[in-house]
């Protein structure tokens, strides 16, 4: 029996470690002082979720691009905090003169929130309509705010999924769940947990049924 379970466990671990999934790529905003800028690096098309907590001041993000790039931005929060009137604005630093130029914004008065149940996270979320724009080379900043600048949010950048390992994905899911107030037990609600757990339970039940059948046959033959 021990050999059976060890074999099953090793198979599941190896299978999951080589199983590629794509859902979330979460990053915590760890600003320590007001108006501290968080630098966004990497491919802007690859989806990432920046998790931030407004504590009286807007949050600023900055990135630079060297060629024309399509940018997709959206805001996300839990259903319980949907009333949080978040806003987003993107500006470009002027090259030939001082100051900045506004590229566009998501205004809290006009945002349409889409509620959905995320099976990967196991929680209900509200996501804004995306803001998309083609950007020319330059330095850009994105500001996330609300009227009182209090509350939790997720800034979603990019719209292309990034394939990564199963255990890395579990780490991202756990980060988002705990950020929005979940506990370690919330992981059970994630499809990335209860599907493999269901497979393990089925294997155990199959083994128990097989063992009992084998014992019954031995008794009849004995």
Give the tens place of pLDDT for each residue, 80-128: 755 789 999 999 998 777 789 999 999 988 888 988 887 777 788 899 9
Domain of 91, in residue numbers = 2-195
CB atoms within 10 A of CB 205: 10
Q: Which helix (H) or strand (E) holds 210?
A: helix 191-221
Tell me the average pLDDT across 144-170.
Answer: 87
Residue 200 lies in a domain: no
- Which residue do the tokens 């990497």 mark? 42
Tell me the average pLDDT across 166-195.
Answer: 78
**Between 46 and 210, whose confidence is greater?**
46
Taking the C-alpha atoms of residue 137 and residue 91, their distance in angstroms, rounded to an integer, is 13
Taking the C-alpha atoms of residue 154 and residue 52, their distance in angstroms, rounded to an integer, is 6
So what's the pLDDT on residue 81?
Answer: 58
CA distances from residue 73 to 11, 17, 62, 107, 143 in whole angstroms, order as listed = 40, 31, 13, 13, 11
Residue-averaged pLDDT of the chain:
82
Q: What is the CATH number of the domain that holds 168?
A: 2.60.120.1050
- Whose CA is closest to 190, among 209, 208, 173? 173
Residue 204 lies in a domain: no
Q: Is 158:107 a contact under the CB 8 Å cutoff?
A: no
Residue 41 lies in a domain: yes
Record the tokens describing residue 19, joined without a space. Answer: 């199983």
DSSP per-residue codes, 180-197: TT--GGGGGGSHHHHHHH
So what's the pLDDT on residue 190?
Answer: 76
Record the tokens describing residue 135, joined without a space. Answer: 């950007």
Q: What is the pTM of this model?
A: 0.77
Q: What is the largest CA-CA distance in the chain?
A: 96
Residue 222 lies in a domain: no
Residue 144 lies in a domain: yes
DSSP per-residue codes, 118-178: ETTTTEEEEEEPPEEEEE-SEEEEEEEE-SS-EEEEEEEE-SB---EEHHHHHHHHHHHHH
Distance, first Cα to last Cα, the chain: 22
Q: Is 48:74 a contact under the CB 8 Å cutoff?
A: no
Q: Categorize the per-residue pLDDT at 21 as very low, low, confident or very high, splitting at 50, 70 and 90.
A: low
Tell me the average pLDDT across 47-74.
Answer: 94
Residue 202 lies in a domain: no
Residue 82 lies in a domain: yes
If one counts the domains in the chain, the total is 1
So what's the pLDDT on residue 3?
Answer: 60
Tell me the average pLDDT across 17-45.
Answer: 80
**Between 4 and 109, whose confidence is greater?**
109
Residue 126 lies in a domain: yes
Is the pLDDT at 20 greater than 80? The verdict is no
């Amino acid at each position: 029996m021990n050999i059976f379970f060890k074999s099953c466990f090793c198979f599941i671990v190896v299978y999951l470690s080589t199983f590629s999934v794509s859902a979330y790529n979460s990053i915590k905003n760890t600003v320590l002082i007001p108006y501290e800028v968080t630098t966004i690096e990497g491919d802007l098309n690859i989806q990432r979720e920046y998790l931030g907590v407004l504590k009286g001041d807007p949050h600023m993000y900055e990135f630079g691009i060297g060629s024309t790039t399509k940018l997709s931005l959206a805001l996300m929060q839990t259903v319980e905090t949907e009333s949080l009137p978040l806003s987003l604005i993107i500006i470009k630093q002027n090259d030939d003169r001082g100051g900045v130029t506004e590229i566009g914004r998501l205004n809290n008065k006009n945002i349409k929130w889409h509620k959905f149940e995320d099976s990967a996270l196991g929680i209900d979320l509200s996501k804004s309509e995306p803001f998309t724009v083609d950007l020319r080379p330059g330095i850009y900043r994105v500001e996330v705010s609300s009227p009182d600048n209090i509350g939790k949010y997720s800034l979603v950048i990019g719209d292309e999924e990034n394939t990564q390992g199963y255990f890395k994905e579990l780490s991202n899911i756990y980060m988002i769940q705990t950020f929005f107030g979940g506990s370690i037990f919330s992981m059970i609600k994630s499809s990335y947990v209860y599907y493999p757990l269901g497979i393990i339970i089925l294997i155990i039940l199959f083994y128990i049924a097989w063992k009992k059948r084998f014992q019954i046959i031995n008794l009849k033959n004995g």
